[in-house]
Amino acid sequence: MVKLRENEASILQILKDGGGRFTVDGIEKISGLAHSAVMRAVMSLGSRNLLKVHEKKRSLITLNDEGRTYSERGLPERQLINALQGLGGEAPIDDALRATSLKQELYAIALGWAIRKGWARAKPREGKIELLKKPSEGDDERLLSHLREKEIVVVENLDSKLREAVQTLKRRNLLNIREETLRELELTEEGWKTVESEVEIVKEVSQLTPELIVSGKWREVELKEYDIKAPVACVWHGKKHPYLRFLDELKEKLVALGFKEMSGPIVELSFFNCDALFMPQDHPAREVHDMYFIKEPNYGNLKEYKQFLENVKETHERGWKTGSKGWGYPFSVVEAARLILRSHTTSVSIRALISRELEIPGKYFAIARCYRPELVDKTHLTEFNQVEGIVVGEGLTLRDLLGVLEKFAIDVAGADKVKYRPDYFPFTEPSVELIAYKKGHGWMEFGGSGIFRPEVTLPLGVKVPVLAWGLGVDRLFMMKAGVDDIRYLFTQNLDWLRRAEMT
């Protein structure tokens, strides 16, 4: 007579009724047992050569919110082509795009894909778009329809063309993809002999209760052996978002390197965001397409900064005492008082330089949210974080700055190597851009840096060199975590959030 535990006997019976083979998921549904209970029994039966476990990896795909919208309304390029057909096959690009009812940030995507697929062509000189052919349903559209109907699809079950379409939609960030292991159980020859013979069900106790102890029944029961290798149910404990943990770690590293944290307001005066940085008031970066202007109130108060304001005004107009000729235009104090959402963290550095608490020599940093009206895609958001730093002291050179940047890219972002290329900013000279490389991730731009010009430091009363850098901390995290879409930093995908190992 073969002795089996209750769960083991139940699983063997299900396998017998199923012809000798059954999936773990199917056994869970029929038996009502938890996954962990089934797998513990499977491990025990496997160790006794009563069954075999066959494993097969598979990928499950579902539509995310954006993909679901396109499955109902059509991809942006399809909506553009439909609108173009309604306009007679040729129309001004702006008219055709407006006729789609797409959001403005999707215009470039719709136009780009329509041209890429050979459905239409642009006529730049005329500012028009022309329909080349009436397109049939593409594989990507066929997959969207299939997913809308089935909701969950196994990639391995798709034909070759739809599997290629999976990669296309994945790159367009329209899918949720989840890997899973499918386990199938099979009775061995010994297992068949067991299920066809007489079986004794052994009742075991896995936990000593107060009742068993008080009544003395613990002497009569058989205690279940504890298997430390047996699988248990996953428990997702509460934890901080991986990106927030990364920012905390970054702050700790900077503080350990001797940097002090500086801060500034999100709603900023144009004086700090632009003017004090020797950025002329007619600079293209100060237009509405590069900044968010506050509607109400429009202007702030500069009385507190009157001394610095006069110096900056003179510097812009005639160069003041900096040795520069300035920009040679009438400086507007009203424009300097304009309120905006800060477009970079360098405004925080300017506030630190005029602070009474500024120490020379000194090292300061800020990790702050910035805002720009960008076109949202896999590498750009309208709001983003920057890590800003300044080093103030006698005798500082470009070599010192490059050393700081290299340490950042390698120690913080986990880059394999870095390189620099010359750049231009109105407020630094020389200016360099940091580019870092990581195997499997490629080269990525992180941001700009340089040494503040005398036109920036002298009007603020600082007479020593100031090294300054402003890097995209979002991209630092992307490289470290292996994320290739910046929108994933703010995802609500619980599976990724639970399994992310970034610390």
Tens of pLDDT, residue by residue over 2-49, are 778 888 888 888 988 888 888 888 998 998 888 888 888 888 888 888
* pTM of this structure: 0.58
Please tell me the distance from the alpha carbon of residue 306 to that of residue 393, in angstroms, as a whole number: 26
Chain Cα centroid distance, residue 446: 15
CB atoms within 10 A of CB 11: 28
* pLDDT at residue 502 tops 70: no
**Above 80 in pLDDT, residue 52?**
yes
pLDDT band at 181 (very low <50, low <70, confident <90, very high): confident
**Mean pLDDT within 124-132:** 86
Task: Please indicate whether residue 294 or residue 482 has the higher confidence score (pLDDT).
Answer: 294
User: What was the pLDDT predicted at 498?
Assistant: 75
CATH architecture of 2-57+179-223: Orthogonal Bundle (1.10)
3-state secondary structure of 441: coil
Report the distance separating Cα 308 and Cα 457, nearest Å: 11
Averaged pLDDT score across all residues of the chain: 87
CA 100 to centroid of chain Cα atoms: 29
What is the third-level CATH fold of 65-176? Arc Repressor Mutant, subunit A (1.10.10)
The one-character DSSP state at 356 is: T
Most confident of 234-238, 367-371, 456-460: 456-460
Structure tokens at 300: 């702030």
The per-residue pLDDT for 364 is 95
**Residue 95: both structure tokens together:** 């008219």
Pick the more confident residue, 284 or 428. Answer: 428
Q: Could you read off the pLDDT of 182-228 as tens digits, one per residue?
A: 888 989 888 888 888 877 777 777 777 888 888 888 787 777 776 67
- Examine the pLDDT at 413 and tell me if it is beyond 70: no
Q: Which of 62-76, 301-315, 470-484 has the lowest mean pLDDT?
A: 470-484
DSSP collapsed to 3 states, 338-350: EEEECCCCHHHHH
Average pLDDT over residues 110-132: 88
Q: Given pLDDT bands bounded at 50, 70 and 90, which one contains residue 126?
A: confident
* Burial 326-341, CB ≥16 within 10 A → b, else e: bbeeebeeeebbbbbb
Strand boundaries in 316-465, DSSP class E: 339-341, 362-371, 383-392, 417-422, 428-438, 442-452
Q: Name the segment(s) of the chain with CATH classification 3.30.930.10.
A: 244-266+344-499
Q: What percent of the chain has pLDDT over 70?
A: 96
The mean pLDDT of 149-178, rounded to a whole number, is 89
Domain with CATH 1.10.10.10 in the chain: 2-57+179-223
Nearest partner of 314 among 268, 355, 272, 278, judged by Cα: 278
* Cβ-proximal residues to 371 (8 Å cutoff; 6+ apart), any chain: 266, 292, 341, 342, 343, 382, 383
CA distance 234 to 250: 30
Is the model's pLDDT at 115 over the cut of 50?
yes
pLDDT digits (tens, 9 = 90+) for 415-466: 888 999 998 888 999 999 988 888 877 787 878 899 999 999 999 999 999 9
Which architecture characterizes domain 244-266+344-499 according to CATH? 2-Layer Sandwich (3.30)
Residue 233 pLDDT: 63
Q: Are 33 and 10 in contact (CB under 8 A)?
A: yes
> Contact at 8 Å (CB) between 250 and 257?
no
CA distances from 419 to 8, 225, 402, 403 (A): 61, 59, 9, 11
Q: What would the two tokens of residue 470 be?
A: 């402003």
- In whole angstroms, how far apart are CA 48 and each of 187, 188, 191, 227, 328? 12, 10, 9, 15, 90
Task: State the pLDDT confidence band at 283, using cuts at 50, 70 and 90.
Answer: confident
DSSP 29-80: HHH---HHHHHHHHHHHHHTTSEEEEEEEEEEEEE-HHHHHHHHH--HHHHH
Between 391-395, 418-422, 495-499, the lowest mean confidence (pLDDT) is in 495-499
pLDDT at residue 431 in the model: 92
Residue 237 has pLDDT above 60, yes or no: yes
How high is the pLDDT of residue 293? Answer: 92
Sign of CA dihedral 444, 341, 391, 248: negative
Band of pLDDT at residue 503, cut at 50, 70 and 90 = very low
Looking at per-residue pLDDT, the higher value among 232 and 417 belongs to 417
